[in-house]
Structures are given as C-alpha cells and as structure tokens.
Amino acid sequence: MGKALALFLLQFSTNLIYNEVNNGNCRRAVRHMLKNICKYMLILSLLAWLLPPEMAKAAGTLPKGGTIAGIAVGGLSYEKAYEKVQLEVDSWLTEAPIQAEGTDEAISIPRDTFLFDIDRTFDELEQQTKRPWYLFFLKSKPVQIPLHVQISENHQIEWLDYADADATLQKAKEAAATLGDQPVTIIYKEESELPKGKVAETTFQIPDISHVEIEQMADKIDGQTVEPDSQFSFISSVLEEVRPTVSQEGASFFATALYAAILKTNMDIIERHSQRSIPSYSEAGIEAAADLTAKKDFIIYNPNFHSYTFSAEVKENKLHISVSSVMKDTSYGYQVENKSEVKPRTLYRFSYKLAPGQRVPMESGQKGMQVEVYRISSVNGTVQEKTLISRDFYPPTPTIFLVSSQEPPEVMEEVNGENDASLEDTENPDGSPSKGTEDFGKADEKKEMLKIINQAACRQFEDQTKRKSCEQILKDNGLTEDVQSETETTD
C-alpha cells in the first residue's frame, strides 16, 4: 500500500514539473518540485507514526535467507517465525546435557541452565531488518542472528576445582545461542592458582652399574618440566648432556625407572624400545632401552593444560623418581596382564668327534614370555578406563645339543627336521605391535644362522665322500646353499 501511494505521488509530481518546463517556466517547475518533496516527506512520516508496530509486523515478511540460531525464518511472517523458533528452542531444551570436555574429564551442563529471551531476539531482528522510509525501493538483505541467552543463577553443575566455571559457561552459552549440540572445551584456571603435588613416583634398586653415571642423569633431569602440548626426549634432554660418561646399561636402567613413573600419569608414550630381555631390577613389560649411539630414545608427550615436573635423586643405592603436577581427581597406575610363556626351541650342532647316537648338552634353554601392559585410570578408587600401552615379547633362549656328524643319512634328516620344527615353533606371536614395542621375531635371521652352523659341521668330515653327503642332506632340507665342498678339515 505504502509503495503504491509513493509511486502515484511521484508520477503526479513528475507530470506537473514536465508541463511547467514545456511551458517555459523553469523557475515555477523548481518551486513545484521542492513543494512536492516536502509534502511527500510529511505524508510518509505521518503514515509511519500512525501505523502501529504490530500492524507493520503483521503486514510484512522477513527477508528471504534470514535465520535465527540457524533456523530458517526467511519469507515467514513475524508471527510464524516466532512460533517456529519457540518450537525449536523447546525441543532443544529436552535433549541430553551439553558436555564440557577436557583432557581426561568431562562436565555435564543441564540445558535448563540456559534461559532464552525470544522476545529480545525478535526485537533485534526487527532493528536489523528495519529500513528508513527513503530506502523503501532497496531490496532487503537476509539477516542471520543468534538467540539471546542468559545463564540461570540456580543451575546445578558439579565443577572441578581447577576448571574456570565462568569461562566454561560462556563457551556453553555461545553454543546454546545457536542451539548447538557439540561438546565444548573446559576452560581451566591459570596453573599458578592450582594446588600441586606428587602425582607419580617410583623407586628402583640400582644394579651393578656405576652410581656416578646414575647420579649424573638424576641431576640433569631433576627440575626439568614438560610443558603443556609438548614432548620430552630422554636423549636430547639427558643423555646428550651427560655423554660420553653414561653406558648403554646405565641409560636403559634410568629409562626403565622413568618409564615406570610415566605409566602413572596420562602422558602419551611416543617412542619406547624394549630391552628384549627381562632385567634383574624390573619385571616383564616394565622396562625400556635407551642408547645414544643407536638412537634408541624414550619420548613422551604431555596432552594436558598443565605441566609436569620431574624430581630425581640417588639415595641408599636406590634411584627415586617422582613427577609433580596439578592435583586432580583422576589417578593413574599400571597392570601387567596376559602373561604367556614361550617354550625354548632346540638346536643341534654337529661334531665328528662324537660317536653315532651320542648327544652332549651344550646350553640349557630358557623360556620366553609375552606380556601386555595396561594403564589404569581411577577416580576415588573406582576404575574408569583401561588402556593398552604395550605388548612385549621376550624371546626364549634355545637348548643346544652337540650330536655326532657320523649319523646315517636318515638320522641326519630327522635331526634337521627337528631344527626346522623348532624354528617354526618360535615364529612371531599373533597380534600387531602396539606403541612402545619392537618387532617380535627374527626367525629368518635365526634360520640363516642355523644354515651356517650346519654347513660348518659338514666341514668336520675328513672323508670327502661323507662331507659331500652331509652337504647334500643339508641342501635337500633347505639348510644350506649349493656350494662347492671344501677340502680343508676343521675340528
């Protein structure tokens, strides 16, 4: 209606001015134009003043493409848009609480914590969609605004002592303003404001290793800090600082003690090497190898909002390592589980000095072992989570017999068959290595070594015919290459 009236008045004024100009009276035409401008401004102002706001809202529609908290309201009347937004808000309030998540904890925020002011939201929408009367001919732009939200003073939220409640609620409020469902991030207080203490400690009896090098490493790591979102390398932070006075055995002992302490935190283990044998000072699965020359490092990562600080000292022939940080409700420990023994294989070496049928034990074998190490997180003594950290394999030591190389061919085949079966029995266990472990098997290398041993045994025959027969048997069983028989005899 307003647009039609304005077009009529504009056309009428244009015709009057055009007639005056044609009659040669330009001054009068200008007076007519100024008069009409003032008249139209007065009429439009009166219309805008007299028309109630409710009628203006009812008569118009929202610009196309407009949204409120992501709800499409473009092209709708104010009443329809208001009703649609109210329904969406009511539906959102019935959903599960919003989760505020941290590195290893979560806080539930009930949705009735948020109070939506839809009237104020539409007042803002009206202000942004309103146009001055003199811009009626311009096309309206789509408006996209969030909902107006306030925090209820009566909310029931269990906050962590080290969480910044106001800052975290502000993040959740921003999510609610768009009717979001995704978790928000817990905002923590400044670390200087939080109580600190020991979160992990361990003690190891020092084996037959120089105390001097252990003390040097303890002095170097004591007081070092692993900052939030950063890594710690045992080689670069400790070993490179004290070389070349630290032995591989000493470095591995210290890395083992440090590994045991780190398992009692939630820091991630990025790199860890196994010693491949169970050291006397620890147990299966709770050991680590470190070697500056071989670049065997022990690397950890701190995913938390707070730092960790190491303390280390040597006292009464023991190494004490502790880790201090912000005191939290969650505590950590470790368990060694799923221990399984691996039987040792049996190897045979040949000697021409032994009589047929004679067997002499050279080395008694020892069983191997496979274990799994889990990190356990608990709150007030109740287990919350169990995470696999490593799966370690300790290969068995073979039992070795010395047997006569003068056995008949069928016996030689049987003995070599036992060697093959023994190798097959010690193939890598099933399962993929997890972080912090090395590859399990070296079966191919062991088989090559057995070929060399057996081939050397054939050289012990002084009689060339027997030597060639021995080599042929080994070749037929895949235990040697097709090589020329040597003439030199060895013991």
Query: What tokens were used for 311?
Result: 């303390």
DSSP 8-state code for residue 240: H
Query: What tokens were used for 356?
Result: 């047929």
Beta bridge partners of 383: 378
Cα–Cα distance, 69 to 78 (Å, whole number): 16
Structure confidence at residue 143 (pLDDT): 79
Q: Exposed, middle or buried by CB within 10 Å (0-12, 13-18, 19+), for 426?
A: buried
**CB 467 within 8 Å of CB 485:** yes
End-to-end CA distance of the chain: 119
Structure confidence at residue 419 (pLDDT): 55
Q: What is the pTM of this model?
A: 0.60
- CA–CA–CA angle 467, 468, 472 (5° rounding): 120
Chain position carrying tokens 């590859």 = 439
- Which residues make Cβ contacts (< 8 Å) with residue 242, sequence separation at least 6? 213, 216, 217, 220
pLDDT, one tens digit for every residue, the chain (491 residues): 445 555 555 555 555 555 655 565 555 555 655 566 655 555 655 555 444 444 444 446 777 888 888 888 888 888 898 999 999 999 999 999 999 988 667 889 999 999 999 999 888 887 877 665 444 445 566 778 899 999 998 888 888 778 888 899 999 999 999 999 899 988 888 866 677 899 999 999 999 998 999 999 999 999 999 998 999 999 999 999 987 878 999 999 999 999 999 999 999 999 999 999 999 999 999 999 999 999 999 999 999 888 999 999 999 999 999 999 988 888 999 999 999 999 888 888 888 788 877 878 888 888 999 999 999 999 888 999 999 999 999 999 888 888 887 765 555 555 555 555 554 443 333 433 334 443 333 444 455 555 555 555 566 566 677 667 777 666 665 555 443 333 232 33
Q: Which of 377, 276, 376, 260 is nearest to 312 (CA)?
A: 260
Cα–Cα distance, 341 to 368 (Å, whole number): 6
- Which residues make Cβ contacts (< 8 Å) with residue 440, sequence separation at least 6? 393, 395, 428, 429, 433
Structure confidence at residue 351 (pLDDT): 80
Structure confidence at residue 282 (pLDDT): 96
Q: Which of 327, 261, 249 is nearest to 290 (CA)?
A: 249
Q: Which of 180, 143, 136, 185 is nearest to 164 (CA)?
A: 185
Cα–Cα distance, 456 to 350 (Å, whole number): 9
Domain parsing of the chain, residue ranges: 2-50, 67-132+141-185, 196-324, 344-367+396-428+435-491
Q: Residue 87 is inside which H or E element, if any? A: helix 78-93
